Amino acid sequence: MIIILFGPPGCGKGTQAKILSNTIDIVHLSTGDMLREAVQLRTDTGKLAEKIMEKGALVSDEIVAKIIHEKIVKKDCNNGFILDGFPRTLKQAQILDDILHATKRKINHVIEFGVNDSELVNRIIGRFTCKKCGTGYNDITSLPVVNNVCDKCGSKVFIRRKDDNSETAKNRIEAYHHETETLLPYYEKKNLLVSINALAAIQEVTKQIISIVKK
Ligand code: AMP
């Protein structure tokens, strides 16, 4: 099964992708995570992407297409995968179609996360992650049960993304409206698009997604 989680930054795609990946046992592919890893490893791709990501703009289609292609053709994606943060432009959507066509596969669902812009910046700047196990938290929506202690692994070290500040968040939301949202009619025409209410509680959003993918 191939699922695209579609929506602006801060809408909860990453959180739901992780839950879904564990629930239905398919690979989670986040281009944002791949690029952050490249930046950390100081690869050529990482060096090219770093400044662009800091500004909240989109990295070039060529770079993103290359890193996603490398992952999609791997064996662990044979059963399908969840795309989180890709495609973000029409060109990327076309590249994805070409890769899938060449490997005789098809997208099953494109799930649009419906949220208000006013919620997004606060959600983005509230995000933080356990450095040890990667569990995600939010100052507004999901704090650890015990203050400053990870619910999952007990670690007390948390990290915040460099681009989760209000100025970059605003640019990222703008990039979504200008470049990514224009993809919605593309998937609507292909009869793949379903919208959900992503402002509901995390478990509620998961339920909506599961009911779509189990159909
Ligand atoms: P994300 O973690 O999905 O919010 O992505 C973080 C940043 O990585 C974005 O603001 C972009 O700069 C870059 N990025 C991630 N995915 C893509 C993509 N598909 N196309 C272009 N840039 C991307």
- What would the pLDDT profile of 9-54 be if each residue is shown by its tens digit? 999 999 999 999 999 999 999 999 999 999 999 999 999 999 999 9
Asked if the peptide bond before residue 87 counts as cis, ω within 30 degrees of 0, the response is yes
Atom from ligand 1 closest to the CA of residue 60: 21
Our answer on whether the CB atom of 9 is closer than 6 Å to any ligand 1 atom is: yes
What is the C-alpha separation between 83 and 10, in angstroms, rounded? Answer: 16
- Share above pLDDT 70 across residues of the chain, in percent, rounded to a whole number: 100
CA of 35, closest atom in ligand 1: 8
What is the per-residue pLDDT for 107? 98
**Ligand 1 centroid to 145 CA: how many Å?**
30
Q: Ligand 1 pocket, 65 CB below 6 A?
A: no
Does ligand 1 lie within 6 Å of residue 13's CB atom? no
pLDDT at 140: 85
Residue 62 has pLDDT above 90, yes or no: yes
pTM of the model: 0.94
Work out the number of other CB atoms within 10 angstroms of the CB of residue 55. Answer: 14
Question: Could you give the 3-state DSSP secondary structure of residue 155?
Answer: coil
Alpha-carbon distances, residue 196 vs 7, 92, 149, 165, 185 (angstroms): 10, 23, 32, 26, 16
pLDDT value at 108 more than 90: yes
Mean of the pLDDT values across residues 74-88? 96
Average pLDDT over residues 187-199: 96
Determine the pLDDT at residue 117: 87
Distance of CA 18 to the CA centre of its chain: 10
Contact 31 CB / ligand 1 (< 6 Å): yes
| Whether the predicted pLDDT of 127 surpasses 90 | yes
